[in-house]
Amino acid sequence: MNLLRIDSSPNQAGSISRELTDLLQEKLESQGHKLTGKRDLYYDDLITLGDQDRYSAYFTPSEDLTDNQRKEIVGSNELAIEFAAADAYIVGVPMYNFTVPAALKTYIDLIARLGITFHYTPEGPVGLLKNKKVFVIISTGGTPIGSEVDFVSPYLKTFFGFIGITDVTFIAADVTNQSREASIEKGTTAIEAL
């Protein structure tokens, strides 16, 4: 299975989510998954959500796009097509202010693409990414995953469901205010149990 890894922590040294994502990647590769892509959302040169032409292009049928609109969405197309091509995903997410980091939100906005990851029907939007699996590693400064102030896991579950991915496993490293080691141990135990 083709595996896409997505890191969203700006912390490269000492990041709990990155350390656990490394561990999960090693485990999945040992089970025959092949890493075919990696996105480091704070350090890759991700395009930003630009101008009016780019915005309007997201809602314009491909046959009606202007030349400038086509040019404006090349980067978003690349990210969405790469995402759609994978079979499984590892997403490392530190919780910031009770939700996802800004870079992950931008990435989500760029891959939520009509005709690539979802389409509209008379009954409403339908996700196009079926029979895929996502593992989400969430590290927090002490906010319990699943609590009333956890806006990461419900948001990501809703988003992945919107694009058709319903097989979502959350791995919590949510005791970081107690100790880094306790968080790593909690996440490692959950990964080993997969």
How confident is the model at residue 176, as a pLDDT? 63
What pLDDT is recorded for position 110? 92
For residue 51 the two structure tokens come to: 């101008």
pLDDT for position 45: 77
**Please, are residues 105 and 159 in contact by the beta-carbon 8 Å criterion?**
no
**pLDDT averages per 10-residue partition of the chain, 194 residues:** 96 93 97 96 77 84 90 91 98 95 94 93 96 97 91 98 98 81 92 94
Q: What is the CATH number of the domain that holds 170?
A: 3.40.50.360
Token pair for 53: 């032409």
Q: Which domain holds residue 9?
A: 2-192
Determine the pLDDT at residue 13. 87
Residues 53, 121, 115, CA angle at the centre, nearest 5°?
45
Residues 118/127, Cβ–Cβ less than 8 Å:
yes
**Binding site listing for FMN:** 9, 15-17, 95-98, 139-142
As annotated, the binding site includes 9, 15-17, 95-98, 139-142
- Tally the residues of the chain: 194
User: What's the structural domain count of the chain?
Assistant: 1
Give the long-range contacts of residues 48-53, CB within 8 A, separation 24 or more.
48/106, 49/106, 49/109, 49/110
SS3 134: strand
Residue 48: per-residue pLDDT: 67
The tokens describing 186, both together, are 């909690």
**Rounded CA gap, 163 and 135, in Å?**
15
Helices in 5-162 by DSSP H: which ranges? 16-30, 52-57, 67-72, 74-85, 102-111, 152-162
User: What does the pLDDT read at residue 18?
Assistant: 96
